[in-house]
Amino acid sequence: MAEIIAQARLVRVENMCDQWGLDLTAGCEHACMYCHFHKHQVLSLRHEHGGEIVAKSLAVDSFLSLDQYPDTLYLSPHTDPLAPSARGPLEAVLKRILPLGVRVIISTKNVVTRRIFRILADYPEQVLVLIGLTSLDDDRNKAVEPGCAPALARLANFDLAKEYGIPSRFTRLDPILPGVDDAHPALGRLLDELVLRGTLQVSATYLFLTPFTVSTPTTNPYMREAATWCREASPTAGGLAYSVPLPRKVDLYSWLKRECTTRGLHFGACGCKDLRLGGNGFATACTNPCLSECTGRTICSLPVIEPSLPVDTVRETIPQLSAKKPDSSRLVS
């Protein structure tokens, strides 16, 4: 991981539900082995300002002084807003935009501090707390997500969310490492724990590998095992990536849906991360009205892609995504 650069970068993320997002750093200290976001920030989005360090206060101040903001802001599309370098700027941003009525989606694999919850508590209906947790096994978590909080600390976010009156509590099982995380008994225990802690909604996504993925799978035993199962070119909203074959995904997501329903949880898979799931009657987060994480704009504007289509045919549909123009009409001031 290169040096973390503090910044406040407002981005339209077409390949993540076509929404507005705000990154508070370039790069993320959590250094997850499967993360492809930092290279994406550097190489595709060029968010590092030519590699030059941006003064923290200057960058955040620029954002804070805007006179218009999107009506909903995803924190954060390519970084974790609760990573150490992002936490201070996050507080400043929330204090600026929440009183203006901006809805925020806070997605983290770390601890949401009480300081942050105190800010959120005045605007509970504008807040969705999204916690990333795929495994209760902290040996796995430490090896694969070395900068992130242990499982119990992540779960404690839900205790605090309830204490501070935040009604929208969501868990992302993302990514599920095939051969590591997808045994039913382990996932069942995780779901039991999520129910106890007060999660209401769950989404899941199998690992996918891109050229931007941080870890070369051979350097980490968990990633090495997982990578052996990622054999199929899968169409994601961001382009082709390698993941498990579609039938394995559908099997696991169907099982998770049943298990979640039994426990009173809403479940959906992330449609952006395998376009073949969208529009086929499968419960994606985009099609489930109870899963408020996703606006569904990306999937709903795409042609339906049947699971049986050959990859070459699917590939031909991908360029249609890059022709989509951001919708800049949904701003609040």
Token duo for residue 3 = 């040096």
Which span (23-31, 120-128, 153-161, 305-313) binds ligand SF4, by CB under 6 A? Answer: 23-31
Return the residues of window 96-155 that contact ligand SF4 according to CB under 6 A: 109, 145, 148
**47: contact with ligand SF4 by CB under 6 A:** no
Nearer to ligand SF4, 25 or 284 (CB): 25
Query: Least Å distance between CB 79 and ligand SF4?
Result: 5
Greatest Cα pair distance, the chain, in angstroms, is: 51
The label of the residue with tokens 């802001």 reads: 73
- Residue of 9, 13, 16, 37 interacting with ligand SF4 (CB under 6 A): 37
Give CA–CA dist 117/240, Å, rounded.
38
Which residue, 30 or 257, has its beta carbon nearer to ligand SF4? 30
Segment interacting with ligand SF4, rule: CB under 6 A, options 25-33, 86-94, 134-142, 200-208: 25-33
* 273: contact with ligand SF4 by CB under 6 A: no
Stretch that binds ligand SF4, among 29-37, 116-124, 217-225, 239-247 (CB under 6 A): 29-37
Contact 13, 326 (CB under 8 A): no
Q: Work out whether 31 is an interface residue with ligand SF4 (CB under 6 A).
A: yes
Site residues (CB under 6 A) for ligand SF4, limited to 68-87: 79-80
Q: List, in sequence order, every residue forming a beta bridge with 173; answer none if it has no partner.
A: 204
Judged by CB under 6 A, the residue of 8, 14, 20, 30 near ligand SF4 is: 30
Q: Single out the residue of 312, 321, 323, 242 nearest to residue 278, CA to CA.
A: 321
Cβ neighbours around 324 below 10 Å, total: 15
With a CB cutoff of 8 Å and minimum separation 6, the contacts of 190 are 133, 134, 135, 136, 173
Closer residue to ligand SF4 (CB): 32 or 269: 32
Among 5, 22, 35, 283, binds ligand SF4 (CB under 6 A): 35
Residue 252's Cα: distance from chain center in Å?
Answer: 19
**Those residues with Cβ within 8 angstroms of residue 256's Cβ, 6 or more apart along the chain or in another chain:** 173, 187, 191, 202, 204, 267
Residue 205 interacting with ligand SF4 (CB under 6 A): no
Q: If you ran DSSP here, which 8-state letter would residue 206 be given?
A: E
Please work out the total of residues on this chain that contact ligand SF4, with binding judged by CB under 6 A.
Answer: 11
DSSP 74-86: EE-SSS-TTSHHH
Contact 95, 117 (CB under 8 A): no
6 counts as binding ligand SF4 under rule CB under 6 A: no
Q: Which residues bind ligand SF4 (CB under 6 A)?
A: 28, 30-32, 35, 37, 79-80, 109, 145, 148
